[in-house]
Amino acid sequence: MPESQSGRRYPRMARVNELVREVLAEEIELLQGDERIGLLTVTHVEVDPDLRRAKVLLSSLGEEAEEALMENRTKLQATLARQVRLRRTPQLTFMADPAIQTATRVEDILRSLRETSGDDSGA
């Protein structure tokens, strides 16, 4: 019996994560008028199983954009409470997606390797 309960939890939390991601992506898009936010993409949301906190991962997050999002956090949480029926509304925190930073670093390394191998073959 415990297996079936844990089997149900993951899909439910995955659905909650995706639903919260969709709602926040739409709302952050509406905040694009704030010049500090610029172009942001919500890549992933991780909601705690107890629904107290949600970590929102963004494609890039500058200091000004983070400040603007934190100023609008209560508005975003209120929208989330209106649009998503959850036992409680999670407190939002915003972070740059580490996967994006890692991918950029790998691309830079590969680019420098190509340039280095290109210099050797040309000589």
Q: What is the pLDDT of residues 59-118, one digit of tens each?
A: 877 888 888 889 999 999 999 999 988 889 999 999 988 887 888 889 989 999 888 887
Question: What is the pLDDT at residue 86?
Answer: 86
Structurally, what CATH architecture does the domain formed by 2-97 represent? 2-Layer Sandwich (3.30)
Q: Which two tokens stand for residue 113?
A: 């390797």
Domain residue spans in the chain? 2-97
pTM of the shown model: 0.72
Question: What is the pLDDT at residue 3?
Answer: 47
**HSE toward the beta carbon, residue 26, CA cutoff 13 A:** 9
Q: What is the pLDDT of residues 7-35, one digit of tens each?
A: 555 688 899 999 999 999 999 888 877 78
